[in-house]
């Protein structure tokens, strides 16, 4: 997509620090540099988020995310957080599907825990609402 910042990065129109590339996937350092090594893994094909991504492309991005994570662990990182934000309400700011990888060390001071907004609903009521059929 012409006005997509990640499409521009993939095409080389905007600079980045590339970490990995194959025929379908591109990965580069997040500009925020909050956790050292924070990496974004994106499909070369423009898809807006995980929900609208076709399964083949999704599988390629996730497999590359696993490969990159294993590479970081082989380099000496002690853990990784892997996450994607899907749609604006979740905090997704760039509408080109991407997976965040945060390389982690014990006691690195990074705080990436999920913080629930409220605990007002019982587990039973939530499960009743969300449970999928077999
Ligand atoms: P999200 O909130 O999940 O959509 O994450 C978007 C991420 O893209 C943020 O962590 C930004 O720091 C990152 N980002 C935005 N622009 C760039 C850029 N030009 N190069 C690298 N990362 C970027
Ligand atoms: Zn794009």
Mean pLDDT in residue range 90-106? 97
What kind of architecture, by CATH, is found in domain 5-130? 2-Layer Sandwich (3.30)
Atom number of ligand 1 nearest to Cα 84: 3
pLDDT tens, position by position, 21-79: 999 999 999 999 889 999 999 999 999 999 999 999 999 999 999 999 999 999 999 99
Question: What pTM, to 2 d.p., does this model score?
Answer: 0.95
User: Does the beta carbon of 30 lie inside 6 Å of ligand 1?
Assistant: yes
Nearest protein Cα to ligand 1, atom 18? 31
Q: What does the block give as tokens for 7?
A: 């499409």
For the chain, domain boundaries: 5-130
At residue 116, does pLDDT exceed 90? no
At residue 120, does pLDDT exceed 90? no
Task: Please give the positions annotated as active site.
Answer: 98
Span from the CA of 36 to the centroid of ligand 1 (angstroms): 14
Q: In what order do the strands lie in the sheet with 99-104?
A: 18-21, 25-29, 39-43, 99-104, 79-83
Q: Which of 27, 93, 95 to mutate to test the pocket of ligand 1 (most atoms within 8 A of CB)?
A: 93
Atom number of ligand 1 nearest to Cα 29: 21
DSSP assignments along the chain, one per residue: -TT-HHHHHHHTSS---EEEE-SSEEEEE-TT-SSTT-EEEEESS---STTTS-HHHHHHHHHHHHHHHHHHHHHT--EEEEE---SGGGT--SSS--EEEEEE-TT---------S---S-HHHHHHHHPPP-
């Amino acid at each position: 997509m012409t006005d997509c910042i990640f499409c521009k990065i993939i095409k080389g129109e905007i600079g980045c620090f590339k970490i990995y590339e194959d025929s379908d996937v591109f990965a580069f350092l997040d500009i925020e540099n909050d956790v050292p090594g924070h990496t974004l893994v994106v499909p070369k094909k423009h898809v807006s988020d995980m929900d609208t991504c076709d399964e083949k492309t999704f599988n390629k991005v996730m497999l590359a995310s696993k490969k990159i994570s294993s590479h970081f662990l082989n380099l000496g990182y002690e853990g990784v957080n892997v996450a994607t934000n899907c749609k604006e309400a979740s905090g997704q700011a760039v509408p080109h599907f991407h997976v965040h990888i945060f390389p982690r060390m014990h006691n690195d001071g990074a705080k990436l825990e999920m913080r629930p907004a409220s605990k007002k609903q019982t587990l039973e009521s939530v499960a009743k609402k969300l449970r999928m059929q077999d």
